Amino acid sequence: MQSTSIQVSHSLRSDHYVDNKIYSDPAIFKIEQEKIFKKVWKFACCESEVPNKNDYRSLSVAGVPLFVARSPDGKLRAFVNSCSHRGAKIVDVPRGNARELECPFHRWTYNTYGECTTIPREEAFASAGIDKSKCGLPEVRCESLHGLVFVNLDQEAKPLVEWLGGCLEIFDDLFGKAELEVFHFHEQVVKSNWKHWQETNMELYHEYLHVLNRQTSMREPAYFKRKWRGYSGGHATLDPLVVDYSKMKGMKSRGGYELPGLQPNEFRLVDIFPDVMLNCRATVMRIDTQMPISPSETLVQFRGLGVKGEPADVRKARLRDHAEFWGPFGRNLPEDQFAAERQTETMKGEATPISLMAREEDNMTQDDFPIREYYREWSALTGLNPADPRPAATGA
């Protein structure tokens, strides 16, 4: 089996496949953490999750605990979530509001400007020259666009707008007409490599997995004729599609309360390197983002967004639409998890040496174009060849 697969790989272009070690090798996972997640802009939360002064939202990037806070001056800032004294984690809840954040270990406290405000019995530190004015939390870069908040551990990285390279333009009409807010959030640990999950958000050949998609989207004459567009930095968007959801028994049209700027029943998609997807099905926007835990485990966060201040009956309908597809017990999300976990399970045992990214359809809907663009950026940042990564990763 292995020798046959290797012979097949020799007949392919190097960008038509990846060596499956990129999903299972701990050395490669470590390189990804250092050279990707510690270098690029990472989606943190939506501004609607921290709307008030002293609101905060916690997350982790490349194993570094962080929190985003809205300081009393109204500005969003991000800090390392680790006490300056002994390094204990300060914020241990997903979100909250506090004028001061207290480390539970020795009760050092910090405000949402990141300043250290209290050191119990601080006089005993005087001989060591410890000054609380110099013991604030390290601040990391934090920028937002269209209400989407990103952080970056690299102080030398290019600005957020430049890094995005215009990939959010597919939603310019929506973001220009409405203020969105998160109305649903859940997260779960998926027993999958983080790239496997992201691949389900990039390639639509896998829509054969979903009964709902086979009965609705894939029956539209325009489905296979949409074009992918690549952006610098590995980002990609797909042409919109209008879907007749009534073709699926028990479903209704998503018209009459569609998000501003969208047609009734319209579908839009953007993938942001390395791990974010904005997926809109007419009435609801879904945002996926990930926090890799190990080569075979990933914390995936899911958000559903609607229009801020909308009538209660419209919000109820959006909640229904979101739950139907993308809630924890929705039609599509468990199927994506099922597929990603089955992939990772075989990678751990190296059952199959390579994965094919070889579909060529003039960048149309089910072309593997977005995955190939993704791995070009992955390669540029890691310095690894995804088709032959082992020598560079291990020094062999």
Q: Side chain identity at 324, as an amino acid letter?
A: E
Looking at residue 2, what is its pLDDT? 46
Looking at residue 134, what is its pLDDT? 94
Token pair belonging to 325: 């597809």
Peptide linkage before 328 cis (omega within 30 of 0): no
pLDDT in tens, 337-371: 999 999 999 987 778 899 999 999 999 999 999 99
Low-confidence ranges of the chain (pLDDT < 50): 1-4, 393-396
CATH number of the domain located at residue range(s) 165-382 in this protein: 3.90.380.10
d(CA 261, CA 302): 23
Domains of the chain, residue spans:
42-156, 165-382
- Give the Cβ contact number of residue 183 at 10 Å: 18
d(CA 61, CA 41): 10
Using CB atoms within 10 Å of the CB of residue 138, give its burial: 0 to 12 exposed, 13 to 18 middle, 19+ buried. Answer: middle
**pTM as predicted:** 0.94
- How far from 167 is each of 149, 273, 327, CA to CA, in Å? 15, 10, 26
Residue-wise DSSP of 104-116: TTT--EEETTS-E
- Of 186, 192, 244, nearest to 220 by C-alpha is 244
Task: Spell 258-290 as b/e; 16+ CB within 10 A means b.
Answer: bbebbeebbbbbbbbbbbbbbbbbbbbbbbbbb
pLDDT in tens, 297-348: 999 999 999 999 999 999 999 999 999 888 888 888 899 999 999 999 998 7
Q: In what side-by-side order are the strands of the sheet with 109-111?
A: 100-102, 109-111, 116-118
Strand partners, 19: 354
d(CA 137, CA 156): 19
CATH class held by domain 42-156:
mainly beta
